[in-house]
């Protein structure tokens, strides 16, 4: 009888430990990105550790402005909105470059690759294509010795862009061929599903 009690007790302990571990694992998976490698053995951004360290402390460092490049952020997000940088010299939405920095209504920075209305670009060119397009009419079929010294920097940039275009175009031509092949095969196989 005692051995049965012992087995039941072991089962309860094991079940309890298993449940606890499962709950811990679920929590770890849910907010793993907030954790710290040293403290939690999870490769997160140490946000929890940061909050525990700064609790009750006033930062002595001066204000830091972080620039975000090459990605989009939600300006109206409740956590980000109070921290978004504002260009105080620019009056928003009056279609005038009030601070005369070359950008109209750049209240929160500038979207260099977006549409004029602030939308996303679906198709974009690589920088070397833009350079060829901009400088092509001036430097196409021109030799370096015939270029004015003030234009040499742009000419060399144009030549580098041409080289990139020739190298990368080989890849993209092959890639396009495989894409055309995939599309042709897809048409044949889709009816077999």
Name the residues that contact Ca ion, by CB under 5 A.
Answer: 90-91, 94, 96-99, 101, 103, 105-106
CB atoms within 10 A of CB 128: 19
Q: What is the 3-state secondary structure (H, E, C) of 78-92?
A: CCCHHHCCCCCCCCC
DSSP 143: -
- Least spacing, CB of residue 92 vs Ca ion, in Å: 6
Q: What's the min distance (Å) between Cβ of 82 and Ca ion?
A: 22
Cα–Cα distances in Å, from 143 out to 25, 130, 132, 140? Answer: 66, 21, 16, 9
Distances (CA, A) of 173 to 119, 167, 170, 186, 188: 29, 11, 5, 20, 23
Burial of 154: CB neighbours in 10 Å, binned 0-12, 13-18, 19+: middle
The residues near 87 (Cβ < 8 Å, ≥ 6 apart) are 99, 106, 107, 108, 109
Q: Considering the complex, what minimum distance in angstroms separates the CB of residue 88 from Ca ion?
A: 11
Residue closer to Ca ion by CB (options 116, 137) is 116
Provide, rounded to whole angstroms, the least separation between the CB of residue 101 and Ca ion. 4
Is the Cβ of residue 114 or residue 136 nearer to Ca ion in the bound state?
A: 114
Q: Which is nearer to Ca ion, 25 or 99 (CB)?
A: 99
Least CB distance to Ca ion at residue 183 (A):
45
């Amino acid at each position: 009888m005692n051995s049965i009690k012992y087995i039941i007790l072991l089962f309860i302990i094991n079940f309890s430990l298993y449940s606890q571990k499962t709950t811990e694992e679920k929590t770890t998976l849910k907010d793993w990105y907030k954790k710290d490698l040293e403290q939690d053995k999870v490769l997160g951004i140490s946000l929890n550790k940061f909050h525990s360290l700064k609790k009750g402390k006033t930062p002595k460092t001066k204000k830091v402005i972080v620039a975000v490049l090459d990605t989009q952020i939600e300006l109206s997000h409740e956590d980000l909105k109070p921290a978004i940088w504002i260009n105080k010299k620019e009056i928003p939405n009056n279609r005038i470059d009030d601070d005369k920095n070359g950008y109209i209504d750049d209240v929160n920075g500038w979207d260099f690759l977006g549409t004029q209305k602030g939308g996303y670009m679906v198709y974009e060119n690589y920088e070397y294509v833009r350079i060829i397009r901009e400088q092509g009419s001036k430097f196409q079929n021109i030799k370096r010795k015939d270029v004015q010294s003030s234009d040499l920097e742009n000419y060399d940039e144009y030549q580098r862009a041409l080289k990139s275009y020739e190298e990368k175009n080989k890849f993209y031509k092959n890639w396009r061929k495989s894409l055309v092949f995939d599309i042709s095969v897809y048409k044949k196989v889709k009816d077999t599903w």
